[in-house]
Chain A
Amino acid sequence: MPKSPHVPGDAQADWRRAYDTTGPADDRVENRSGIEIKPLYTPDDWDSERYADDLGFPGQAPWTRGIYPSMHRGRPWSQRQLIGLATPEEYNARMRKIVASGATALSVIPCNSVYRGYDMDEVDPVLLGTCGTTINTVDDMDTCLKGVPIDATSIALNDPSPFTLLAFLLAVARRRGISWDQVTGTSNQSDFISHFVANHMFFRLALDGARRVFVDHVAFANDRVPRWNPVSVVGQHMQQAGATPAEAMAFTLSTAVQFADDCIERGLEPDGFLPRFTFFFDISISFFEEIAKFRAGRRIWARIAKERLGAKDERSYRFKFHAQTSGLDLTRQQPLNNIARVSAQAIAGIMGGLQSMHTDAYDEVLSTPTEEAAKIAVQTQNILRDEAHLADVIDPLAGSYYVETLTNQMEERILEVMATVEDAGGMFEAVRKGIVQQMIGESATAFQEKVDDGTQTVVGVNNFADDSEIPVRALERPPADVMQRHIDNLKKFKAERPQAEVAKALDELARAAADEKLNIFEKIVDAVEAGATNGEVCGKLRDELGFGHPLIAA
């Protein structure tokens, strides 16, 4: 018998009989988070009586429907495409075009050597500049941002701990006479926990040291660079590494709680730092599951900020997030199919209420994206916004029996995973013990098995495959002479700087690392202003705080 008075019992019984006679025999369907998906949802599953409790209004508790009253209708999501270009000169040329065309936000993606904390003269030259810009010094950052009004441009730095790129940016601002309270943007890769677990390339310092530098950097930014967002909690790495959407959301929220607890422990006020927290997620092609993931996450975070962290300012409750369409769902086979996949992922992100989005180029699984493919990725967003009119209505799937039921079920599943982390002593302990890594590994294996046995179709790979040729792509590499000139510049920079000052600043950095009363990040800014390089700062801190080894149990 139906629970809801709105469901006519006879009709429901008739439908069930007809479905059982004609529907598929083996009927169990599960989403990636392991939640069973029924063939039909009705007011028996969710009904508008729950409207006030579950939904409310955009910009109000319980925050399910969005963090701002006007959401995309008032301010469409921003498009933040990542661009990797080999040298600061090339990066600058591209950026000036983008700024000239009216962009007010840009991203800096450094080369893998920079991510690892090495200068150009410390790594095999064959690896330089193939994925991002080689920024080793304050001069390099100055070149990247030549002609860019840094007091009027939001700058997203892919800048893992110890945040040398932000130090370079602040040094450039000072050079140009721009006050630090005019500098805006985000430390996109501040989440060292996600790096320890799932993106080891960014993991430079040992766990305890990274933890301290993180809080120093938040404290410094809150105090001295008040419009900077020092925290981006990254669920993307975890989901890319294999976490289910519910696990990825749970681990991200548990990480955010850990960061907030650490900041409070340092004596920072929740309403001071929480409005500067941002989040970064993966959007897989599991369409409704992703939408429900974002809606549930938004609701949980607001509750945590208020009830657990004691924040009173509503800006602290806002779950601001950037999301990127998942490269894992893309295939080499029949690569143009990826355009359809990215569209579906992007729609899910938009319906989930994101603030900023990167859509993948269809060919990124073949090589570094071509300009044409990168353009299609951007135009996909424009088509969805302006032709499909996806920004016109706020949270348009609200009230769907399925979406609301699934949002509640995802919330439950996310809270279960968060409880596991809590039982382990919080996120920091859970990752130190390898509990999170093990869960992610198991989920990765389980998903691969579903692909291998065909339970999960991948079009063109395990089903609907053909023998069409996969396009041959070459890796784009910077011309050797361009790269060599850049390496020569670094040598010249190192030869001409005031050596005694650099040595003294690096000693000061070591002293701060040994003395918890000092702020390490402040000393990093001093060091790069004196002329220390990314490699030297990271090297010194590795000596003092330990090299960032991930857990390697496979």
Chain B
Amino acid sequence: MNDTQPLDESRAADGAANLGRPARVMVTKIGLDGHDRGSRLVAGFLRDAGMEVIYTAPWQKIETVVRQALEEDVDAIGVSSLATDHLLVPQLMTALGEAGLEDVIVVVGGIVPDADVAELKAVGVAEVFHPGSSRDDIVGTMTALIAARRAAA
């Protein structure tokens, strides 16, 4: 075992227990890229943590993501991007706003150059997960974000 970075037990995976009714999260990819190891892994983590995951094929159109978010009544949308598709996320944020879904949490995971992170946060992206993020990191952050959203509702 390594001891330099002990696990933070308070953030450990237990999404369902902390939230009452299970969180609903869409895991998707927009744009052109089809690398989906990351989105599959994350979908698995979230599901194991008791969340309900709506998993889509890659190459979703933005209007499809918005419509599904509405129909599935999701708490959060996770967008996975390996090859520059994060550049479309600002358009997704605008479209969600126009559909009255500005309170849906949007997170991005994958290869996002640091210079673009500020731009994504500025348009309302709640978190950007880089390569090397751990399961507990992702599940813990999502649980906290969703709990805060529900408390505010």
| Chain A residues in the interface with B (C-beta under 8 A) | 112-113, 115-116, 118, 123-124, 126-127, 130-131, 198-203, 240-242, 331-333, 365-367, 441, 444-445, 448-449, 451-454, 457-458, 461-465, 470-475, 549-550, 552, 554
Contacts and interface: CB of A to CB of B under 8 A. Distances in A.
A475 B57 contact: no
A366 B43 contact: no
Contact of A115 (B1, B32, B40, B111): B32
B4 A201 contact: no
B63 to A, nearest CB: 13
Interface of B: 1-2, 4-5, 27, 31-37, 39-41, 43-44, 53, 55-59, 83-85, 87-88, 91, 111, 113-116, 130-132, 134-136
Given A127-B85, A365-B131, A552-B55, A473 B113 contact: yes
B92 to A, nearest CB: 11
A332 B83 contact: no
Contact of A126 (B37, B87, B136): B87
B126 to A, nearest CB: 20
B84 A554 contact: no
Given A199-B35, A242-B37, A116 B114 contact: no
A246 B67 CA distance: 42
Contacts of B131: 331-332, 365
Nearest to B118: A472
B40 A441 contact: yes
A474 B119 CA distance: 11
Nearest to A242: B37
B2 A444 contact: no
Contacts of B1: 453-454
Contact of B88 (A126, A333, A475): A126
Given A366-B114, A474-B113, A452 B135 contact: yes
A116 B40 contact: no
Contact of B32 (A116, A451, A452, A454): A116
A124 B113 contact: no
Contacts of B130: 332
B4 A202 contact: no
A127 B59 contact: no
A170 to B, nearest CB: 26
Contacts of B136: 452
Contacts of A202: 34
B135 A448 contact: yes
Contacts of B35: 199-201, 240
B65 to A, nearest CB: 14
Instruction: Count chain A CB atoms within 10 A of each CB in B1, B31, B33, B37 and give the residue with the most.
Output: B37
Nearest to B117: A472
A475 B2 contact: no
B57 A549 contact: yes
A333 B114 CA distance: 12
A534 to B, nearest CB: 14
A453 B44 CA distance: 17
B135 A113 contact: no
In the A-B complex, the 4 residue pairs with the smallest Cβ-Cβ separation, listed nearest first, are A200-B34, A201-B34, A474-B115, A112-B32
Main secondary structure of the interface of B (DSSP, over half): loop
B114 A473 contact: yes
B132 A458 contact: yes
A462 B116 CA distance: 25
Given A444-B37, A445-B41, A454-B2, 10 more contacts: A113-B32, A332-B130, A451-B134, A463-B2, A463-B4, A475-B113, A552-B57, A554-B27, A554-B40, A554-B43
Contacts of A367: 111, 113
A5 to B, nearest CB: 42
A127 B87 CA distance: 7
A525 to B, nearest CB: 26
A357 to B, nearest CB: 22
Given A127-B85, A448-B41, A464-B4, A475 B116 contact: yes
Contacts of A462: 2, 5, 134
A471 B53 CA distance: 33
A116 B85 CA distance: 13
A112 B57 contact: no
Given A200-B36, A463-B4, A444 B41 contact: yes
Among B40, B44, B57, chain A packs the most CB atoms within 10 A around the CB of B40
Contact of B44 (A240, A445, A463, A549): A445
A219 to B, nearest CB: 28
Nearest to B47: A554
A463 B4 CA distance: 6
B137 to A, nearest CB: 9
A234 to B, nearest CB: 14
Nearest to A203: B34
Nearest to B116: A475
Given A331-B131, A445-B44, A472 B115 contact: yes
Contacts of B31: 112, 124, 127
Contacts of A449: 135
B82 to A, nearest CB: 9
A128 to B, nearest CB: 10
26 contacts: A115-B32, A116-B32, A126-B88, A127-B31, A130-B87, A131-B84, A199-B35, A200-B34, A200-B57, A200-B58, A201-B58, A202-B34, A203-B34, A240-B35, A333-B132, A367-B113, A441-B40, A445-B41, A463-B2, A471-B114, A474-B116, A475-B84, A475-B113, A475-B116, A549-B57, A554-B53
